[in-house]
Amino acid sequence: MKHFYTIILIFLSICSFAQKNYEPEQIKWNGSTYPYRYHHLEQYFRYYPNKRPVPNIDTTIINRNYRAVFEVKENKFYLNDIFIKGKNPKVKDLSVLNELNDKNEPMFLSWINGLFDIGLGNESFIKNDSLSPIYDNYIVFEVKKGVVGRIEKFSYNEFKLFKDYQYKRFKNTLEYNRLYQRLIYNGMSEFEATSHIYTFILFYSKSNFLKKR
């Protein structure tokens, strides 16, 4: 339950600010670096608060005061580095990975589980929605105990169809009903709750429901 409220806080805090105030993480995939909008370290810092490199101002993701760089390498999910502001207060360019890992080397994140995506190509935004970027193509990947398994590549239209399918399948589960009721209990309207679940359906559905090709 505590994990659920943390996730809701993360998503609602992002939605309450303009895009210009939000800085995504980064992820390296096949040698290229992309923006990444999943904040895996917040779960880690909840269990190990003394490891947080700098205090966040108001417990929101917007003001987390660090930028994590993840990497998928040889089908394993790593924290490659983590940066905070150094001499230049406008740029997060000071590595503090050694504060999380005494060896000062990439950390294998064995506790990561779920379904995540990376946007490829041009980034654009729909009018009146400055928080959900649209990309030309997407990589969708499943992670179990830090090991990357099934990987799918979609065009934008294919990704929309995939989200529709995930939502349709997830909506018929007990987990959907529990999640929906919790969102309503926490103050969302019915429309807001269903929209929220659809927007973050990959995160909530946790696994790829498509039949393997």
Phi, psi of 8 (to 5 degrees): -60, -40
> How high does pLDDT run on average in the chain?
87
- pTM to 2 decimal places: 0.87
Using the predicted structure, report yes or no on whether residue 17 has a pLDDT greater than 60.
no
d(CA 101, CA 211): 39
Q: Could you read off the pLDDT of 58-79 as tens digits, one per residue?
A: 667 777 899 999 999 999 999 9
- Answer yes or no: are the C-beta atoms of 115 and 206 closer than 8 Å: yes
Q: Could you read off the pLDDT of 123-165 as tens digits, one per residue?
A: 998 766 656 789 999 999 999 999 999 999 999 999 999 999 9
The residue assigned the tokens 């929209």 is 195
Using the predicted structure, report yes or no on whether residue 20 has a pLDDT greater than 70.
no
Q: Using 50, 70 and 90 to split pLDDT, how confident is the model at 173?
A: very high
